[in-house]
Structure 1
Amino acid sequence: MTYDSNRPAAGKPHRDPLPLLGRTALVTGASRRSGIGYAVARRLAAYGAGVYLHHHVPHDAGQPWGADPGGPEAVADGVREVAVPGAVVAHGPADLARPDTPARLIDRAAEALGGRLDILVANHALSGSDGPLDTIDASMLDAHCAVNTRSVILLAQAYARRRAAEQPGGRIVLMTSGQDLGDGLPEEIAYGLAKGALASATRSLATTFAVAGVTVNTVNPGPVDTGYAVGELHDRVARSFPGGQWGAPDDPARLIAWLATEEAGWITGQVINSEGGFRR
């Protein structure tokens, strides 16, 4: 594998306050200001990138936590607050359960960002409609595989087809949930299977993209407080962290934003657990 086009020349180390200036990014699943996608988008924008935020409000509206009360425009406004002058922050809906949607989303995001797309953060996921082995059925398995696995691979495919080989700074970051750690997710078989497939595909995708100088990594953020856990569950999970508190959305966002920079140009094909010492 070679990444010469992405690797900075040797010399005195320095830190660029805007390491993504001029780059563009698509962040999927960025529909709630309490979510990881929003935190990632803010980090990328603060680093100088233009950002397109994907959302699917009907999914959130059907969950116990509900949709963001301010809607997608409030989410985008929160990202614009930290963006550099002149950087584009745009957003749009897409139902990634549909097989034709990923390619259209990549095209729409790239065109909104000036025709170029450098960074793909596949943060979206289907929640709910799941259970332990004796309760799942074929429709649950199909739904989770369509959104949590198939759409991500098709996003990567469409990204590859749009990206010129000579463009530097290509980055893909996927998201998984630590299914291979501890006892897995026995109460969420369909979700665990579909997300675990992304971890398994990471090295294959990294090898595929290496010739184009694009890195591919997957992040397991561990339990992050995005508003979905309350009461006894929240307290019980908090006790499993050495510090007694959940991860915050900005915890994985810092890692993901760093993976998008030139500093991370030699890291690819990795599944990185960012769990704050969580004890399973």
Structure 2
Amino acid sequence: MPRLPHPAPEDLRGDPLPLRGRTALVTGASRRGGIGHAVARRLAAYGASVYLHHHVPHDVAMPWGADRPEEVLASVRAALGDPDARVVAGPGDLTDPAAPAELIATAASAVGGRLDILVANHALSGSDGTLDTIDAAMLDAHWAVDARSVLLLVQAHVRLRPPAPGGRVVMMTSGQDIAGGMPGEIAYALQKGALASITRSLSTALAEQGITVNTVNPGPVDADYLTGADYEAVAAGFPAGRWGMPDDPARLIAWLATDEAGWITGEVINSEGGFRR
């Protein structure tokens, strides 16, 4: 096999819109304070058309509450790098086994007929506990949202997208296998660990179809869910003295979606800013 030539000088300078013409679905993008919103803004700024999935009832039930979908949509549209790109939003309850395939089809149709990039950012918050307090209902709830729906989204994405270079899948995990783990969130840690474990298998399965698969652990991110002394204690664990912000993992995820990251697949990448547990 001949060796590949060195890139031409103009290819080394980079494209200010490296995702122009690409299309993306970002799940769990219902709050301007969240990672999903930050990822969608980065993808849009890089030139992609983006479909934002939201499930407002989940956030309404949480202490942090929900934003109005039109506010999130407007924020992402304001970041568009390509005036011809589209930003669309829609709901989806991913506890329904049929919802992932429906969401993929709806998103693809809304942004041009196909999807290149899938960022599975959604997760179930709450309904969890320690080994002593978890029960079957907690385990089933987290399995349905945090693992099953992600695999069904990937399956539907692969079935709909013709084999071609430039396909991307990015899943999210939570550092459950680092240092002390997550003993207070057993159901959540179990399902996020499943995504980390399946990353390499999925990347091998999808390589021939031109799709890379990677999983990102964003570490502790200030998504408006913690305040006071607990917030300061976490901040002290970072060498920089601050929490990660949503745009910190978003920059990594957006880069993984570009051609610059085409040689990166099957990896679980920790983006934790040196956090010390």
Distance 1:82 1:32 in 2: 16
> Which residue of 1 is the match for residue 249 of structure 2?
252
Distance 1:242 1:51 in 2: 34
Residue 120 in 1 paired to residue 118 in 2? yes
Matches within 5 A, 1:1-280: 10-12=7-9, 13-68=12-67, 71-83=68-80, 84-165=82-163, 167-280=164-277
Note the C-alpha offset of 1:157: 0.2
SS in 1 for 2:187: helix
Relative contact order higher in (CA < 8 Å, ≥ 6 apart): 1
Instruction: Extract unaligned runs of 5+ from structure 1.
Output: 1-6
Instruction: Extract unaligned runs of 5+ from structure 2.
Output: none
- Count of equivalent residues: 271
Note the C-alpha offset of 1:14: 1.5
On the 8 A contact 1:8/1:262 being kept in 2, the answer is no
Deviations 1:128-148 (A, max 9, x none): 000111111000000001000
Deviations 1:143-163 (A, max 9, x none): 001000000000000000001
One-letter identity of the residue aligned with 1:18: L
Note the aligned Cα RMSD (angstroms): 1.1
One-letter identity of the residue aligned with 2:29: A
SS in 2 for 1:75: helix
Note the C-alpha offset of 1:9: 7.4
One-letter identity of the residue aligned with 1:184: G
Note the C-alpha offset of 1:213: 1.2
Using the aligned pairs only, state the percent identity: 69
> Which residue of 2 is the match for residue 3 of structure 1?
none
One-letter identity of the residue aligned with 1:207: T
One-letter identity of the residue aligned with 1:98: D
Distance 2:86 2:269 in 1: 29
Distance 2:240 2:48 in 1: 33
On the 8 A contact 1:247/1:276 being kept in 2, the answer is yes
Structure 1 stretches of at least 4 aligned residues deviating more than 6 Å after TM superposition? none
Distance 1:8 1:146 in 2: 46
Give the structure-1-normalised TM-score: 0.95
